[in-house]
Structure 1
Amino acid sequence: MSWGGTVDELPIGRRVAYWRGRRKMSQQVFADRLGKSKSWVDKVERGVRRLDKFSIVYEIADVLAVDVQLLLGKEPERRPETQNCIDQVEVEEIRAALERYDQMSAFFQVVPHSPPLPEMHKAVSHAWLTYQHAKYGPLARVLPKLLRDAQAADSAYATTEHAHDAAHLLGQVYQIASSALRKVGEHELSWLAADRSIAVSQRAGDQLLAGLASYRVGSALLALGRVRPSLEVNVNIANRLAPSGELDPDRLSVYGMLLLNGAMAAARIGDSATVRDLLAGADQAANAMGGDQNHYWTSFGPTNVELHRCATAVELGDGRTAVDTHERIDPDGFAALLPERRAHHYLDIARGYTQIGDVDKASEMLLEGDRLAPSEIRCRPLAHEVLSDVLRRTRGAPPAPVAELAEQMGVGV
């Protein structure tokens, strides 16, 4: 969509239209969520009707999930460090980095300088750990430069003996970006980054990295509601990576995660038989590994399989099975998982408790997740939905900690 100028130079109505378009929301859906008519939205976007009440502007910002300052054409205020989310400014910087095509320009001119590969290895490992500790704000601030550096390295080393190594690093950075963007609801951009990783991984000559890139594509497709393509890509690539002969922990980890992701997609369409089959395959792979590991940054192992057993039950609407499974999870195995995995599970199981009507336990799970990894709860649109559901089901005033969390997240009590 082009308006002939930058977004911050536009009248407020045009900015509303721009962000509505970015959110893939029709005027009718937008109007319904605001409690207004489609005609009212159309007049606002064309500048026929003025937005002269701050309360309406804040309501629009809330529906569009953008900082109100962006609608007012101002630089958004950075969120408090405690919230630690990825804001719209950072998303746009990541988008700009993904829109670069340095690999093509390398055919025509001298490639840009890139950092030494050992330095890049350290930076990429640090980015993975930052993601797995659910520190999305700090990750978002380094991702644009990391993307540019990895792209430059991929171009600079393309004709050298280090070509595969440089491509491998870029493939990893695209995957980190894809995962972080999916967390905060930027699903189209997440899909783009994951898709880029598949192409780069093939150049890196690493089947497992390509398999993991397929996992990211499957996750992005699932988030976009493209459930059957997500199921197909996960299962097809898992079948190609199915272990035979000597058991390699790296291969088992990537294979197992593809099966788990496929199970999540099958659960979304209510295919419980496929869910059972895929979980059984993942369970077999996890047991062959002999314990929880983090090969290829997957956190794959028996405990992660159990977390997905809970998550698929929730997707199938079977909160009782999810809660029963949760209560049987080995506490030591769970405690050994990295914060992102554990907090993600608390969010899943909060949904399970709401399904069986136990609002108190659902609240407790959200608070546990927030204590462990605030960004996983406060930054994710899904967590906002779950907390809203908990508040709606709570009789009388919610407990003080829940009310405080709701206020900090901007969820109406």
Structure 2
Amino acid sequence: MGIQRTAFAARREALGFTQETFARQLKVELSTVGRWERGTLTPQPWRRPRIAKLLQVSLSELDVLLNPAGTELVTRRSSATRREVIADAALITGGIPVDHVPGAGTEEPLRHRMDHTRVSAQVADLHRKYQAARYADVAQRLPSVSEAADALVANGPARRRREALGLQCSVAILTAKLATKRGDGETGLAAAELARVAAEKAEDTFGLAAAAYQRTCALLRTSGMKDSEQIKDAEEIAVSAATALRGQDPQNVTWRGALTLISSIIAARRVDDVEASERLDHADELAQWLGVDGNIGWTAFGPSNVLIHRTSVAVTLHDPRRALATAEQLDITALPTGLNGRQAQFHLDSAWAHTQLAEDPEAVIHLLETERVAPELVRTNPNARSLIADLLARERRLQVPALRGLALRAGVAV
């Protein structure tokens, strides 16, 4: 029986790779990556420099990820020296000089590397739980993980300061997400600002993009539908951040797409249907270029996410028929596993549209699906509770027998 390499999988996910995209980069079968992570197969030595490069770790760190239980895995490697392995890999990966291979020539104490690896895995795990809509679990663990990231910035080795700042930024992003999700825009804005500061110190382009995205979300949460100044500020942040990203690599494309999607929601808030549609179309072009429903930077950006935002734009514009017509184009079950929050948003938008059209049974079905994939969201989300209350006010028990139980579980009825 293999040793589950959860930290290895968490590191892959933190960098936005699915098993499929990771396998594609390494030119191996999808099942091979799965076997690596389940511990039933170990990467050959000549593959490890390429794996380390993709995971942005040293070879020693990779050994820790592959050998989490302290077994004799490292000693069972081939008799080739480390430099020979790196030299062989340089040929395979396009002639990367040895001095530029992650981990080459470093004698950094393993204790420090393990600390960074452990905190990185914890941060990735919290992001994963947030996307799975396990908000209470995230809130409980966030303070200790934040403290660990801060300690690495303050006391970690100087040569790894940028990595530690990246973790600090990622924790602040998570804090902003959680606060905004719970309706606390002010705290979300403060956390997003902390993320921006950490990203600037780390000279992290994509950390800055993530901070801009969360500042935008927090501003939208603190503004009312008619608060033009707040909406204007949010829009300027999102559009400027998207414009600053010019690369054609997956990370640049992903963050431009994510920021363009949030700016389409803002255009809809301004009741500018034309601008919202143009931005959605641009985001769709970026998603089609990407070609997959990825999760780089925990954005879940891809073709399916564009359709989810098209539905949300229709809801924001108070157009229930368009919302449902768009929703019908999406197979929500095709989303990558674990994106419960995105699935829940799709079902909430669909429930709203059916409610507007007095199609109460269909609305309740979507609310029950929301509860199934994200039970915490139904109990805490003001939009979900408002929908349940509206349906309850015109309840017809013979047509919607499940509504009363749903309202009780959500705390809307007593």
Task: Give the TM-score, by structure 1 length.
Answer: 0.68
Q: SS of the residue aligned with 2:159?
A: coil
The one-character-per-residue Cα deviations of 1:271-326 (angstroms, maximum 9, x if unpaired) are 11110111011001000001111111110000000000000100000110000110
Unaligned runs of 5+ in 2: 1-111, 224-229
1:235 maps to 239
User: Following the alignment from structure 2 to structure 1, what is the Cα–Cα distance between the partners of residues 237 and 350?
Assistant: 26
2:176 maps to 178
RMSD between superposed Cα atoms in Å: 2.0
1:131 aligns with 2:135: no
1:146 maps to 145
Cα distance, 1:393 vs structure 2: 3.7
Paired residues, number: 297
The letter of the residue matching 1:155 is A
The letter of the residue matching 1:403 is R
1:200 aligns with 2:237: no
1:348-367 mapped onto 2 (5 Å cutoff): 348-367=349-368
Could you tell me the percent identity over the aligned residues? 31
Cα distance, 1:371 vs structure 2: 0.8
The letter of the residue matching 2:364 is S
Q: SS of the residue aligned with 2:413?
A: coil
Cα distance, 1:190 vs structure 2: 1.2
Distance change (3 Å), C-alpha of 1:364 and 1:116 = same
Q: Given that residues 289 and 301 in structure 1 are in contact (C-alpha distance below 8 angstroms), is that contact kept between their aligned partners in structure 2?
A: yes
User: Following the alignment from structure 1 to structure 2, what is the Cα–Cα distance between the partners of residues 284 and 240?
Assistant: 18
1:283-298 mapped onto 2 (5 Å cutoff): 283-298=284-299
Q: Given that residues 147 and 173 in structure 1 are in contact (C-alpha distance below 8 angstroms), is that contact kept between their aligned partners in structure 2?
A: yes
Structure 1 segments (4+ residues) deviating >4 Å:
none
Q: Given that residues 180 and 218 in structure 2 are in contact (C-alpha distance below 8 angstroms), is that contact kept between their aligned partners in structure 1?
A: yes
1:261-340 mapped onto 2 (5 Å cutoff): 261-331=262-332, 333-334=334-335, 336=337, 338-340=339-341
User: Following the alignment from structure 2 to structure 1, what is the Cα–Cα distance between the partners of residues 202 and 281?
Assistant: 31
User: Following the alignment from structure 1 to structure 2, what is the Cα–Cα distance between the partners of residues 321 and 178?
Assistant: 31
Task: Give the TM-score, by structure 2 length.
Answer: 0.68
User: Following the alignment from structure 1 to structure 2, what is the Cα–Cα distance between the partners of residues 334 and 325?
Assistant: 16
Q: Given that residues 364 and 402 in structure 2 are in contact (C-alpha distance below 8 angstroms), is that contact kept between their aligned partners in structure 1?
A: no
User: Following the alignment from structure 2 to structure 1, what is the Cα–Cα distance between the partners of residues 168 and 216?
Assistant: 19
User: Following the alignment from structure 2 to structure 1, what is the Cα–Cα distance between the partners of residues 195 and 341?
Assistant: 22
Distance change (3 Å), C-alpha of 1:330 and 1:409 = closer
Of 196, 219, 222, which residue of structure 2 is paired with 1:221? 219
The one-character-per-residue Cα deviations of 1:353-372 (angstroms, maximum 9, x if unpaired) are 22222222111111011011
Cα distance, 1:233 vs structure 2: 0.8
User: Following the alignment from structure 1 to structure 2, what is the Cα–Cα distance between the partners of residues 242 and 382?
Assistant: 36
Q: SS of the residue aligned with 1:328?
A: coil
Cα distance, 1:399 vs structure 2: 3.3
2:107 maps to none
Q: SS of the residue aligned with 1:394?
A: coil
User: Following the alignment from structure 1 to structure 2, what is the Cα–Cα distance between the partners of residues 114 and 151?
Assistant: 16
Q: Given that residues 165 and 198 in structure 2 are in contact (C-alpha distance below 8 angstroms), is that contact kept between their aligned partners in structure 1?
A: yes
Q: SS of the residue aligned with 2:162?
A: helix
Distance change (3 Å), C-alpha of 1:174 and 1:356 = same
Cα distance, 1:116 vs structure 2: 1.7
The letter of the residue matching 1:201 is A
1:256 maps to 257
Q: SS of the residue aligned with 2:183?
A: coil
